């Protein structure tokens, strides 16, 4: 692995040019983790702003419990401390919220006000296993959301705990994890994977385009047998290119 380092703003912008499945294709080449079970959401998510494309940022984490009115007693202090935490973390940031009421959804942390407040503090969006509301207003604020569903009210919502490990959609997320998310779901990249993910994703995207996709698109005038042979050759070339690049076996 390369020496750990923070990605530059330009590198984060380039990561945002690809969809999350493309990031997965790069990740599985560099990770030491189980590519069949780790790093991605295990439960279905819903992207409420797919027109905004992917979002990329570092996780800031929160737990909420909208059904419990006892939390309202500490609202001013909790909100101030939470916002100071947000402001202290470099961006871009994605707010990952674990709703302790799940599977029930009682109220939303998100709406027009919080979307604008969080944008001002360097956050680009959220992943929450609870709900959101004020969908049009959140979109207008440029604040992307992956969530379980929509709801009407906020109930007794406020930060209960923050800057802690959370679990959303079957995936554990820690503060500082690099997240890539879009309409397909999300990837959670550990610190030792940050430095290599851009180059790996870039390479695998190019590798696909120059081998198997090109072979599948260039079939005019070929017989079925010739097409099968061309696809087989392209698949082997694809796997060999990846093997040479990453020094590990690539399935095809």
Read off the pLDDT of residues 225-236 as tens digits, 9 standing for 90 and up.
999 999 999 999
Asked if residue 221 and residue 189 are part of one domain, the reply reads no
Q: Cα–Cα distance between 235 and 245 in angstroms, integer?
A: 16
Provide the CATH number for the domain around residue 138. Answer: 3.50.30.40
Asked if residue 131 and residue 180 are part of one domain, the reply reads yes
* Per-residue pLDDT band at 247 (split at 50, 70, 90): confident
Report the candidate in 181, 213, 152 with the shortest Cα–Cα distance to residue 92.
181
* φ/ψ of residue 224, rounded to 5: -60, -40
Judge whether 179 and 187 are in contact, CB under 8 Å: yes
pLDDT digits (tens, 9 = 90+) for 174-194: 999 999 999 999 999 999 999
Judge whether 104 and 76 are in contact, CB under 8 Å: no
Pairing of strands 55-64, 93-99: parallel
Asked if residue 230 and residue 189 are part of one domain, the reply reads no
pLDDT at 80: 93
Instruction: Tell me: pLDDT of 6 over 90.
Output: no
- Buried b vs exposed e over 163-177: b needs ≥16 C-beta within 10 Å? beebebbebebebbb
Tell me how many domains the chain contains. 2
Interval 3-23 mean pLDDT? 88
Helix then strand count (H, E) for the chain reads 8, 12
pLDDT at 237: 97
pLDDT at 252: 60
Interval 111-125 mean pLDDT? 97
Interval 118-124 mean pLDDT? 97
Asked if residue 128 and residue 193 are part of one domain, the reply reads yes
Judge whether 197 and 56 are in contact, CB under 8 Å: no
Judge whether 239 and 251 are in contact, CB under 8 Å: yes
pLDDT at 76: 76
Instruction: Tell me: pLDDT of 45 over 90.
Output: yes
Asked if residue 225 and residue 169 are part of one domain, the reply reads no
pLDDT digits (tens, 9 = 90+) for 200-219: 999 999 999 999 999 999 99
Residue owning tokens 């942390």: 109
Indicate whether 203 belongs to any domain. Answer: no
**103 is in which domain, residue-wise?**
9-197
Indicate whether 241 belongs to any domain. Answer: yes
Indicate whether 251 belongs to any domain. Answer: no
């Amino acid at each position: 692995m390369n020496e750990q380092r923070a990605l530059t703003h330009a590198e984060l912008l380039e990561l945002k040019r690809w969809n999350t499945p493309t990031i997965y294709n790069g990740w599985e080449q560099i990770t030491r983790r189980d590519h069949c079970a780790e790093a991605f959401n295990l439960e279905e998510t819903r992207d409420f702003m797919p027109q905004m494309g992917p979002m990329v940022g570092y996780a800031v984490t929160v737990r909420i419990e909208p059904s419990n009115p006892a939390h309202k007693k500490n609202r001013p202090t909790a909100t101030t401390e939470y916002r100071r935490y947000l402001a202290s973390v470099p961006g871009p940031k994605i707010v990952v919220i674990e709703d302790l009421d799940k599977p029930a959804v009682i109220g939303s942390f998100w709406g027009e006000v919080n979307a604008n407040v969080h944008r001002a503090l360097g956050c680009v969006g959220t992943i929450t296993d609870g709900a959101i509301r004020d969908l049009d207003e959140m979109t207008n604020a440029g604040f992307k959301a992956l969530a379980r569903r929509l709801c009407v009210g906020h109930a007794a919502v406020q930060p209960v705990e923050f800057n802690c490990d959370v679990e959303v959609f079957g995936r554990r997320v820690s503060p500082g994890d690099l997240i890539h998310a879009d309409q397909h779901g999300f990837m959670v990249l550990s610190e030792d994977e940050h430095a290599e993910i851009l180059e790996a994703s870039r390479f695998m995207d190019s590798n696909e385009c120059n081998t198997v996709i090109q072979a599948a698109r260039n079939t005019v005038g070929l017989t079925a047998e010739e097409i099968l042979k061309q696809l087989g050759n392209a698949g082997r070339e694809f796997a060999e290119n990846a093997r040479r690049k990453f020094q590990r076996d690539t399935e095809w």
